Amino acid sequence: MSGGTYLVAAGCTINDITGKISGLCTAKGSIHISINYPALVPFFVLGGGALVVLLLSAVLPKRPYRGLWAGLTVAAGVGTVVDGLVQWQQLNGSSVTPVTLGDQLFYDHMGAFFAVLFGVATVAGAAISDGYLEREGLDGPEPYVLMLSCSLGAVLMADAAGFVTLFLGLEILSISLYAMSAYHRWRAASGEAGLKYLILGSLASAIFIYGAALIYGATGSLQYLGVVSFLADNALFQNGVLLGGMVLVIVGLGFKVAAVPFHFWSPDVYQGAPTPFVGYMAAVAKAAGFAGLLRVLMLALPTLESTWRPIIWVLATLSVVFGSILALVQVDLKRMLAYSSISQAGYVLIGLQAGTAQGVRAVAFYLFTYTFMVIGTFAIVGVLQGRGEARNDLSAVRGLASRSPWLAGAMLVLMLGQAGIPLTSGFLGKWVVIEAVLGQGQYELALIGMLGAAVAAFFYLRVALIMFLAPESPGAPAGGAVTLSATGGPGAATAGGGPSDGGPESSEPGDSGWAAGAGRAYSGSDLQAIVTAGLSARDRALALRPPPHTRVRVPAATAAVIAVCVVFTVFAGVSTPVLSWAHAIALPWSA
Amino acid sequence: MDQFLPILLMVVLASAFAIGSFIASKMLGPRSHLHAAKVGPYESGIAPRRELAARFPVRFYLVAMIFVIFDIEVVFLYPFAVMFRQLSTFGLVEMASFAAVVFIAFAYLVSEGALDWGPGKRLGSRAGAPVTRSLNATVRRVARPGTPPSARPPVLVEGASTGSGAGARGLDPVRAGASGPHGEEG
Amino acid sequence: MSVPGPWYLGLAAFLFGIGATGLLVRRNILVMYMCIELMLNAVNLTFVTFSRMLNDLGGQDAVFFVLVVAAAEVVVGLGIIVAIYRRRAGATADDVNSLKG
């Protein structure tokens, strides 16, 4: 060890041989750590909220009264939103202020924007969890504590100014999500989902932090600004270690945002985990992962842009293409939404690939609008699936238009939004993202994005069409299904075998009856053939089952969330305040 | 040589404590007349062919997990101790709030009964219906032949949910048997 | 006398590889956790080695956080395993198969 000095805090250095401390902190023999408390308010609100819930659950009698935990969580989420907006006002467009806790956190527009996003997701997630947990007999303080700490980790990721802080945020977020995924204790699939998520997520975390270690070794700094200033001053002739580190970091974060080919955990986890938590997770984990990725790539590694842009190009293309195509053949609603969210991640990656300020703002807008759409969608799936998550297949939405027109209308808007139909925020989101890559002359990527959207529109519209099928079909003897295969078009023709014996491959005695009946009732309209195109024979039968007979009960808080999500999806699609807000983000780098 | 004296003393003290504990427990503990046949798996005298895997109650894992977490928190105390003087009041406040966070987690654990040693009835009863293994034994409870299906511990499997109505049927005993994580709490 | 830094880096990379391979190959969940621990400890070794080679304490700071995170991860994992054990008999990854994929 030769004598080196190192920085302990701003303006304070210590010689590691003599132990001599010099700089600002010598004044009173103490280290002066500058802390910008306004920047930390989201952490105090979210972390404090989690601790208050935990402490109250310890001292209050069990089950104090319904909605207390959810209410506290919603309050903490609202506090985060308000504080994010206040931060936004105070920052007033000033950009780089890497500030607080020994330069570990940024205090900037981007952080404030994402704090608002995570606050919104917390409010919505807690509000829709309340009714779900009550229905499943799972209510307790734990999910809310986990949700708050997850949001804390997400804000930390968005604010991180170095790899260690990013890793810490990533892990706080991920570990909370592992436990949330496994929370449904009566459902075997939930435990499995948690376990799978944990093992694969830990692998991703290890890969990420190994990448960070390699970048540290190559540049001598764990802080983004340290990395970028080192790379600006030194031309690396052998940057294999740096490139390896960058690739590993991209892989690790790509895992978290479920980009193909690192997506394979996501359908299983989405299918198994409790539905409202999935909605929350889809919004928060993705946004936080992208916030981290944005900062790492745009802020720390802009000099390697020529290397990482092709990587992101590949990830974006694969995600859009495979996400859309694989979603086509899913009959489980939550699995389908998992693949849909993979393809949505692809669009965000398209925006990131542009590598410009315009692209970053497009990404921010996309993520913000997607938060509302995905939480609203999963809120509706959560109420439709019935107790014990009994019905997750496509047929759970069948006939919703006549059973519960409002819910069907809400689902329709959210589906159209995710499909990117004009007059919804999803359209505007895809538009700005594709505009950003077009600005960079990436015509192929823009084309792939548009084609992917066309494919994706099909499976979103399938859900919408199934909602408008009549809920019940008059029972008819076997034979009607032949009509189905006859009118089935390409989808039915490729299914192989053909459902000539009523409900094929199905052991349920009722299957042949209703499959046949359904086939007869709609054989003239081709509607059924359209909604089941691309599914295998068995899945087709599943998708056309009659819906559950139970009345759909929507808890008030869930209904409010759904309403807000729908209104926001339309509002952000037909007017521009949200878009101009995202476009006003002052970026902490000069791009 | 001087500098090794404390280490030597430490070794002697540690060994003395360990040996002393053994001797004390032999002398003070209740006498038992255990011999090989008595502690074997079959008292009838059949020698087992191979060693059976040791069985730990689930409680063992709970305590181990709690220990690991609180143990690892101490990691942050060492850098703090090294920099104690330089950090002065700020560091003290910082560590106090860190300790408070850990303490709240601890309070939660106590209230959940995770540290209630002794007969594990309390925790077992509140854990809800579909517990096929109790907290104190890893032996699986199996329904006797002829037991009505509704009395069997319900396990929800994904396959059941695609059958018509099976999901609802499987869940009902759960609702009847337990009212959630904090059921049966006074 | 002292072992040169790159050797440590090679060792760390090797350990990381063993961990990653084990995680993907082994079926016992507890062994999989050990593999995760191995990977994270390989990362720690990398950090410490770089920290020494660069004469910078930042890497050693990182080790603290990686250590704590590794412990937290494994504890949550054990908790999930205990919850699964209560429901079913086995605990190998092959038993956890009611979700396809």
Q: List the single best residue of B56, B63, B65, B76 to mutate versus C (max C Cβ within 10 A).
A: B65
Query: Residue B54: its pLDDT value, please?
Result: 64
Q: Is A5 helix (H, G, I), strand (E, B) or coil?
A: strand
For C98, nearest residue in chain B (alpha carbons): B158
Looking at residues B90-97, what average pLDDT do you find?
88
Would you report the helix, strand and coil content of chain B in percent, each value rounded to 5? Answer: 60, 0, 40
DSSP per position, A375-423: HHHHHHHHHHS-GGG---BGGGGTTHHHH-HHHHHHHHHHHHHHHT-TT
- Rounded to a whole number of angstroms, the distance from the CA of B44 to the nearest CA of chain C is 29
Q: Please name the residue of chain A whose CA is at the shortest distance from the CA of residue B166.
A: A390
Structure tokens at A165: 């802080």
Nearest to A206 among C39, C56, C77 (CB): C39
A23 membership: H or E segment, kind and range: strand A21-23
**For chains A and C, what is the number of CB pairs under 8 angstroms?**
133
What pLDDT, on the 0 to 100 scale, is given for residue A412? 95
* A contacts of C32 (beta carbons < 8 Å): 199
Q: Would C77 be classed as within a structural domain?
A: yes
Decide if A295 touches B, using CB distance below 8 A.
no
**pLDDT given for residue B125 in this prediction:** 47
Nearest-CA distance from A138 to chain B in Å? 5
Q: Which of A65-69, A247-251, C57-61 has the highest mean pLDDT?
A: A247-251
CB atoms within 10 A of CB B22: 10
Assigned domain for C71 exists? yes
Q: pLDDT tens-digit profile of A151-175?
A: 999 999 999 999 999 999 999 999 9
- Would the CB atoms of C46 and A210 count as touching at under 8 Å? yes
Nearest residue to A469 (alpha-carbon basis) of A376, A411, A397? A397
Nearest to A107 by CA among A585, A591, A588: A588
Tokens of A419: 């499909």
Q: What are the Cα distances from residue A105, in Å, to A72, A156, A165, A481, B92?
A: 27, 8, 8, 62, 22
Tokens 């109505």 sit on residue: B165
The secondary element (H helix, E strand) that includes residue A14 is strand A12-15
Q: How far apart are CA A455 and CA A449, in angstroms?
A: 10
pLDDT at B51: 65
Q: Which of A14, A185, A395, A544 to mutate: most B Cβ within 10 Å?
A: A185
Question: CA A543, CA A532: separation in Å to the nearest integer?
Answer: 7
Helix (H) or strand (E) holding A443: helix A443-468
The answer to whether A188 contacts C88, with C-beta atoms less than 8 Å apart, is yes
Question: For residue C94, what pLDDT is reported?
Answer: 55
Show which residues on chain C lie within 8 Å of chain B, measured between beta carbons. 64, 67-68, 71-72, 74-75, 78-79, 82, 85-89, 98-99
Biggest alpha carbon–alpha carbon distance for chain B = 81
Q: State how far the Cα of A525 lies from the Cα of A443, in Å rounded to an integer.
A: 39
Alpha helices, DSSP H only, in A220-274? 224-233, 240-256, 265-272
Tens-digit pLDDT profile for residues A288-299: 999 999 999 998
pLDDT at residue C96, as a whole number: 57
Chain B residues with CB under 8 Å of C69 CB are none
- Closest by CA position to A537, among listed A567, A557, A561, A512: A512
Q: How many CB atoms lie within 10 A of CB B54?
A: 5
Using DSSP's 3-state secondary structure scheme, residue A105 falls into: strand
pLDDT the model gives residue A588:
72
With CB atoms and an 8 Å threshold, state whether A21 touches B86: yes
Residue C69 within any structural domain of the chain: yes
| The amino acid at A151 | S
Q: What total of structural domains would you count in chain C?
A: 1
pLDDT of residue C63: 94
Quick one: pLDDT band at residue A394, thresholds 50, 70, 90? confident
Portion of chain A with pLDDT greater than 90, in percent: 56
Decide if C23 touches A, using CB distance below 8 A.
Answer: yes
Residue C66, in any domain of the structure? yes
CB contact under 8 A, B155 and C68: no
When CB atoms are compared, the residue of C16, C23, C47 closest to A216 is: C47
Instruction: Select the more confidently predicted residue: A190 or C87.
Output: A190
Mutate to test the interface with A, among C21, C39, C66, C80 (most CBs of A within 10 A): C80
Residue with tokens 């075997």: A188
- The shortest CB-CB distance from A140 to any of B105, B158, B182 is to B182
Nearest chain A CA: its distance from B55 CA (Å)? 23
CB C76 within 8 A of CB A178: yes
Nearest CA in chain C to B160: C98
Contact assignment for C88 to B155 by CB distance below 8 Å: yes
CA dihedral A106, A111, A112, A118 (to 10 degrees): -140
Residue contact C69–A268, C-beta within 8 A: no
Residue with the larger pLDDT of the pair B183 and A453: A453
Extract the tokens encoding C55.
């004469």
Chain A interface disruption, residue of B90, B92, B108, most A CBs within 10 A = B108
CB count in 10 Å sphere of residue A189: 23
C-alpha–C-alpha distance, residues A46 and A79, integer Å:
8
Chains that touch B (3 or more CB pairs under 8 A): A, C
pLDDT at C48 over 70: yes
Our CA-based measurement puts residue C68 at a distance from the nearest CA of chain B, in whole angstroms, of 6
- Please report residues of A whose CB lies closer than 8 A to that of C56: 4, 6, 220-221
Q: State the best of A186, A190, A275 to mutate against chain B, taking most chain B CBs within 10 Å.
A: A186
All chains having 3 or more CB pairs closer than 8 angstroms to chain C:
A, B
DSSP A300: I
Q: How far is CA A184 from the centre of its chain?
A: 20
Residue among A235, A239, A250, A207 nearest A353 (CA)? A250
User: In chain C, what residues touch B61 (CB-CB under 8 Å)?
Assistant: 78, 82
Percent of chain A residues topping a pLDDT of 70: 82
Distance from CA of C58 to the nearest CA of B (A): 13
Determine which of A11-25, A182-196, A373-387 has the lowest per-residue pLDDT on average: A11-25
| Amino acid letter, residue A260 | V
User: Considering the domain boundaries, does residue C6 fall inside one?
Assistant: no
The answer to whether residue C17 is domain-embedded is no
Contacts of A102 in chain B (CB under 8 A): none
pLDDT at A480: 37
Q: B56 is written with which tokens?
A: 């730990």
Least CB–CB distance from B181: residue in A30, A51, A140: A140
Across the interface, whether the CB atoms of B75 and C64 are under 8 A apart is answered yes
Nearest to C44 by CA among C72, C16, C71, C23: C16
- Strand order in A5-9's β-sheet? A5-9, A12-15, A21-23
Spatial separation of the C-alpha atoms in residues C85 and C91, rounded to whole Å: 7
Counting every residue, how long is chain B?
186
Q: Which of A13-27, A61-75, A138-152, C62-76 has the lowest mean pLDDT?
A: A13-27
Residues in B touching C86 (Cβ below 8 Å): 58, 127, 130-133
Distance from B152 to chain C by nearest Cα, in Å? 12
Question: How many Å lie between the alpha carbon of C71 and the closest alpha carbon of chain A?
Answer: 11
Please name the residue of chain B whose CA is at the shortest distance from the CA of residue A35: B90
Confidence of residue B89 (pLDDT cuts 50, 70, 90): confident
pLDDT of residue A10: 46
Whole-angstrom distance, CA of residue B69 vs CA of residue B59: 16
Above 90 in pLDDT, residue A37?
Answer: no
Say yes or no for a CB contact (<8 Å) between C36 and A192: no
Residue A174 has which token pair? 């991920």
Q: Which residues pair with A22 in a beta bridge?
A: A13
Q: Name which of A54, A185, A188 is nearest B128 (Cβ-Cβ).
A: A185
B vs C: CB pairs below 8 A:
44
Q: Smallest CA–CA separation between C61 and chain B, in Å?
A: 9
DSSP assignment of C31-47 equals HHHHHHHHHHHHHHHHH
Average pLDDT over residues A27-48: 78
The CA-atom distances, in angstroms, between A380 and each of A129, A393, A400, A477 are 12, 13, 11, 34
Residue-wise pLDDT for A488-527, tens only, equals 333 333 333 333 333 333 333 333 344 444 444 444 356 7
The tokens for A186 are: 């009566």
The token pair at A442 is 């990436």
By Cβ distance, the residue of A191, A206, A210 closest to C80 is A191
Beta carbons of B65 and C86 less than 8 Å apart: no
The nearest CA of chain C is from the CA of B175 a distance in Å of 16
Q: Is residue C93 part of a domain?
A: no
pLDDT at residue A474 in the model: 46
SS3 content of chain A, % helix, strand, coil (to 5): 70, 5, 25
Q: Mind listing the pLDDT tens digit for each residue in A319-345? A: 999 999 999 988 899 999 999 999 999
Question: Within 13 Å and on the Cβ side, how many CA atoms surround C58?
Answer: 28
Tens digits of residue pLDDT in A190-214: 999 999 999 999 999 999 999 999 9
pLDDT computed for residue A27 by the predictor = 41
Least confident interval from A87-96, A570-579, B40-49, B152-161: B152-161
Contact between A121 and A275 under an 8 Å Cβ cutoff? The reply is no
Nearest to A33 among B90, B110, B182 (CB): B90
3-state percent helix, strand, coil for chain C, nearest multiple of 5: 75, 0, 20
Nearest CA-CA distance, residue A100 and chain B, Å: 15
What does pLDDT average to over chain A? 83
* Cα gap A60→A58, rounded to integer Å: 6
User: Domains, chain B, ranges and CATH?
Assistant: 10-112 (1.20.58.1610)
- Check residue C98 and give its pLDDT: 58
List the beta strands (DSSP E) in B17-175.
Answer: none
Least Cα separation, residue A117 to chain C (angstroms): 26
B80, pLDDT greater than 70: yes
Alpha helices (H) along A160-239: 163-181, 188-219, 224-233
Give the end-to-end CA distance of chain B in Å, rounded to a whole number.
64
- List the domain range (segments joined by +) for residue C40: 29-87
Cα separations in angstroms, A79 against A89, A282, A369, A382, A482: 15, 22, 20, 26, 59
Average pLDDT on B167-174 reads 35
- C58 in contact with A, Cβ within 8 Å: yes
Tokens of A260: 């193909």
